[in-house]
Structure 1
Amino acid sequence: MRKKMAKELHVVMLPWSAFGHMMPFLQLSIALAKFGVRVSFVSTPKNIERLPQVPSTLASLINLVGLPLSELPNGDLPDGAEATVDLPFDKIPQLKMAYDLLQDSFQKFLADQSPDWIIIDFMSHWVIDIGQELNIPVMHFSAFSAATGAFAGPPEYLTGEARMKVRPSMESLMSPPPWVKFPSSVVEKKHEAFYMFNFFFGSNGTQFSDVERLAQIMKNSQAILIRTCSEFEGPYFDLLNELHEKPVLATGFLPPDVPERTKFDDQPWKDIFKWLDEQKPKSVVFIGFGSECKLNREQVHEIAHGLELSDLPFIWVLRKPEWAKDETEVLPPGFGSRTRGRGVVSLGWAPQMEILSHESIGGSLFHAGWGSMIEILGFGHSLVLLPMIADQGLNARLLVEKGLGVEIERADDGSFNRQDIARALKLAMVLEEGEPLRLRAGQAAAIIRDMELQHQHYIGQLVHFMESYQTK
């Protein structure tokens, strides 16, 4: 039910062109619309088309706005590429360049709409100047955990000489920063630190590095929003409030709605759900690495062999890799016949929320992405963590620190083996020593699914802040 407000707020959202960012922004848009806030969600036309449908009851309050990307002078962005999922890793700098060229059309849209607030991601630092010119306050919404934000630190330590004092090398990312005064295991491992130091702090092919963009946004925005709640990340969230000289607000987890059981028309999914219905409650492992993680052949095969060794029933949603000519090349020879009846592999799209909500699912092997964690832990499933990119390693350390997950062992080069995968799966799913983890997963689910807390409290608090804010 919508809440009546003293005045109608209009908020403009601008996420970065990656689905791991667009989805939290859309979920925040829906949560705000439930309070009667009018939202303009801005992205590119193709991205808008690929978003899930907005609930019909809120369609009048959420306007999906498609601003076309400009062509790059050198034509180096492939046709139809409008999100990171459309590109190999080495082409993402071109997407950032094209994204930066949205600023003129975005400014015209803002001047025409005169919204009360602009909510932006970490990439669009140029919105700060636009907001100041048009006298519209700007919020930064972080789709990352509070622990990741605390690890990054305040803006003055992200660039320049101050950054060089605390983050002079990749090794400096492998221990907690000096402003984290409490015991913390939220650090990078060696293979992650190499990637993070070069990708985050280094050049990204544009005039401004990712960290320079983030620093400018955090320093000059009027408030910072974090997709978390203090009941889950208390010490890290409290630290963020100490580090930033401005309001830091939690949005809550923005958990997606639990889907109703769908009757699927296509025979493969009818058969898969019939198979799930036949399994024991909490017995099946779900495996999924999303659309952004591009696993190589060795990784896919080690995961497959680990599943085979675990003897656990499983359902694996696997995106067809670019290195495989056809489906027969994706999995190890004989894997399908050896696991027939015990496991299901689905290549391509899958109804992930419907699978996760099924009573036979008891755990998940996944990449420790923050949004996926919220979906999976929201059903009380055990977490087996195999982080791949970006913030996922930091999330994995946080979840292990909280006793909610088992992280698969890795060598310094990031490689892993089938024995460690099988060992982690069995610990999380069936072994007696994993029982405390399974118990805590259920307790965490109660927090994530507490809509009075997640929606009424946190979103209500955010709406009140936006209503009462006075532009200087």
Structure 2
Amino acid sequence: MSEMVKELHVVTLPLSAFGHLMPFFQLSIALAKAKVHVSFISTPRNIERLPKIPPDLQPFINLVPIPFPPLEPDFLPEGAEASFDVPEQQEQQYANLQVAVDLLQTPIKQFIADKMPDWIIADFFTHWVVDIAKEYDVPLAYFSVFSAAACVFFGPPEHLTGATRNGVLPTIQSLTSPPEWITFPSLLALKDYEAVKRLLSWEVNKTGMSLNRRLAKIVSASQVLAIRTCSEIEGDYLEVYKKITGKPVIPTGVLPPDQPGKRAEGEVNSDASMFDWLDKQKPRSVVFVGFGSECMLSKEQVHEIAHGLELSELPFIWGLRKPHSTRSDEVDDFLPLGFVDRTSEKGLVCFGWVPQMEILGHPSIRGSLFHSGWGSVIETLQFGHCLVVLPFMYDQPLNARLLVEKGLAAEVKRNEDGSFSREEIAKSLRLAMVEEEGEQLRSNARKAAAVIGDQKQQHDHYIGAFVNYLKNNVAK
């Protein structure tokens, strides 16, 4: 048994999206620290974008680049291997990326056959790995990068496939209240405009399979369901998920990324001016604004956020991704006329990619206005910052409701069509950042930071429990 334990080998198979690649990478790092050998499979460019593996863990992690097979010209933009590379607005090519990912089935099957790992840890998208696991008698684990609350809202496999409704899609109304299997008071529900988008998950797309059916197939076939969360924050939803799936559900801990080290005095890099500006601000006074790499804001939304920041009179640093269609000479037009000049003493707008973790770790930051993606929730809470959430897509609305329910965030109020006003942006920011009524939010965020920031004890315990399960349940 000890020999088998020493040589435990797992394959991790994430979706080609950064909100999935990074949690799977962080899980791989945590497993490697527990002396588990990991083969991390993705496409070459996605692997090149991953952080460097610490030297002491390199013997345990094998990054396996498997390229897409030859594709027709213009099937995907040149070099596109992740959803970040293909704006969701370009629906045809976004669907083509999903088709390309499915074409990895054959080479991945060959890799599994050659290496015969002890476990496959899969994302929801690669439903075909179920058949590969069965053929080679390799146990399958589903690793959810979504919160436990989101998993509960998605429901059990029979709900995802429509079996409980004789194949009939749910109604918008049914998605705007908490699911019947949640038996405690809960805010877990969608707004009408969000429910319309959620219904698309039941529709068969170009790949011939709906997203929900993919998830249902993976969950049904998995021996264990691992979730990137902790019982201190989501213990109630973890229990519900166990009940509705009838499977072992193991929280892996939130897998917080390593906090950045302090910059050396006089250190100069491409972000130097950004940090020079932050260094001049008062401690815990600035709000960081960022909506991630895949959330494309419209010009109208950018203008309302900008005016809201101006109305709030709070210092801010804004990492703003301009639309693909915007030329460099049109950048100023993307923001309200005169906004940069009017706010030059209070705020800083940085176009393009920004080092989010380094910014969040700066002593001048107190809060964050963001989309409530689960990875960003974890990154922000580990520093004890207050949260102002403005969700746009995927699981973000569910995370936003969870955070409000737990007293960890203020959500910007929106109109029935999903639009929002500058006044509500300013109101939510001031509540969370400075007003007396928001002190409980700030206190709760500090308490959450103690849980999430305690990487050594809490998170070693979580990953240890997951590793023990894997070791004790390999195929005989």
TM-score bin (small chain): over 0.9
* Cα separation, 2, equivalents of 1:245 and 1:303: 44
Alignment-derived partner of residue 254 in structure 2: 253
* Residue identity opposite 1:352 in structure 2: Q
Q: 1:351 to 1:74 in 2, by over 3 A?
A: closer
Gaps of 5+ in 2: none
* Cα separation, 2, equivalents of 1:422 and 1:75: 43
* Residue identity opposite 1:443 in structure 2: K
SS of 1:59's equivalent?
helix
* Cα separation, 2, equivalents of 1:64 and 1:13: 10
Alignment-derived partner of residue 53 in structure 1: 52
Deviations 1:342-395 (A, max 9, x none): 111111122211110111100000000000000001100000000011000000
Per-residue deviation, 1:8: 2.0
Q: 1:163 to 1:229 in 2, by over 3 A?
A: farther
8 Å CA contact retained: 2:118, 2:138: yes
Q: 1:95 to 1:267 in 2, by over 3 A?
A: closer
* Residue identity opposite 1:135 in structure 2: D
* Residue identity opposite 1:51 in structure 2: L
Confirm or deny that 1:342 pairs with 2:355.
no
Q: 1:411 to 1:289 in 2, by over 3 A?
A: same
Confirm or deny that 1:305 pairs with 2:304.
no
Name whichever of 77-86 and 9-18 sits farther off. 77-86
* Residue identity opposite 2:16 in structure 1: S
SS of 1:136's equivalent?
coil
Per-residue deviation, 1:266: 4.9
8 Å CA contact retained: 2:44, 2:65: yes
Deviations 1:381-418 (A, max 9, x none): 00000001100000000000011100001112111111
Name whichever of 141-150 and 178-187 sits farther off. 178-187
Q: How does 1:313-352 map to 2 (within 5 A)?
A: 313-326=315-328, 327-352=331-356
8 Å CA contact retained: 1:296, 1:323: no
Per-residue deviation, 1:75: 5.3
Deviations 1:261-292 (A, max 9, x none): 22486576323222212222211000011101
* Cα separation, 2, equivalents of 1:180 and 1:256: 31
* Cα separation, 2, equivalents of 1:405 and 1:398: 9
Alignment-derived partner of residue 230 in structure 1: 231
* Cα separation, 1, equivalents of 2:262 and 2:228: 27
Deviations 1:202-232 (A, max 9, x none): 1222111000111111011111110001111
* Cα separation, 1, equivalents of 2:376 and 2:195: 22
Alignment-derived partner of residue 399 in structure 2: 395
SS of 1:316's equivalent?
strand
Name whichever of 356-365 and 318-327 sits farther off. 318-327
Alignment-derived partner of residue 420 in structure 2: 416
Alignment-derived partner of residue 388 in structure 2: 384
* Cα separation, 2, equivalents of 1:18 and 1:349: 16
Q: How does 1:411-450 map to 2 (within 5 A)?
A: 411-450=415-454
Alignment-derived partner of residue 10 in structure 2: 11
SS of 1:252's equivalent?
coil
* Cα separation, 1, equivalents of 2:147 and 2:280: 36
Q: How does 1:28-47 map to 2 (within 5 A)?
A: 28-47=27-46
Alignment-derived partner of residue 150 in structure 1: 152
8 Å CA contact retained: 1:72, 1:97: no
* Cα separation, 2, equivalents of 1:261 and 1:413: 44
8 Å CA contact retained: 2:99, 2:207: yes
Query: Identity over the aligned pairs, expressed in percent?
Result: 55
Confirm or deny that 1:67 pairs with 2:66.
yes
8 Å CA contact retained: 2:310, 2:343: yes
Name whichever of 202-211 and 436-445 sits farther off. 202-211
Confirm or deny that 1:23 pairs with 2:16.
no
Q: How does 1:100-249 map to 2 (within 5 A)?
A: 100-163=102-165, 168-198=170-200, 200-249=201-250
Which of residues 461, 465, 469 is equivalent to 1:465?
469
* Cα separation, 2, equivalents of 1:221 and 1:255: 25
Gaps of 5+ in 1: none
8 Å CA contact retained: 1:364, 1:382: yes
The number of residue pairs the alignment matches comes to 469
Per-residue deviation, 1:443: 0.2
Which of residues 363, 369, 386 is equivalent to 1:365?
369
SS of 1:463's equivalent?
helix
Per-residue deviation, 1:148: 0.4
Q: 1:124 to 1:278 in 2, by over 3 A?
A: same
* Cα separation, 1, equivalents of 2:221 and 2:145: 18
Provide the alpha-carbon RMSD of the alignment: 1.8
* Cα separation, 1, equivalents of 2:97 and 2:303: 31
8 Å CA contact retained: 1:156, 1:162: yes
* Cα separation, 1, equivalents of 2:3 and 2:146: 30
8 Å CA contact retained: 2:290, 2:318: yes
Alignment-derived partner of residue 285 in structure 2: 283
Q: 1:412 to 1:203 in 2, by over 3 A?
A: farther
Name whichever of 364-373 and 315-324 sits farther off. 315-324
Per-residue deviation, 1:88: 2.2
Deviations 1:62-111 (A, max 9, x none): 11111111244685223211110111211221111111110110011111
Q: 1:244 to 1:332 in 2, by over 3 A?
A: same
Name whichever of 388-397 and 153-162 sits farther off. 153-162
* Cα separation, 2, equivalents of 1:341 and 1:155: 53
* Cα separation, 2, equivalents of 1:211 and 1:71: 28
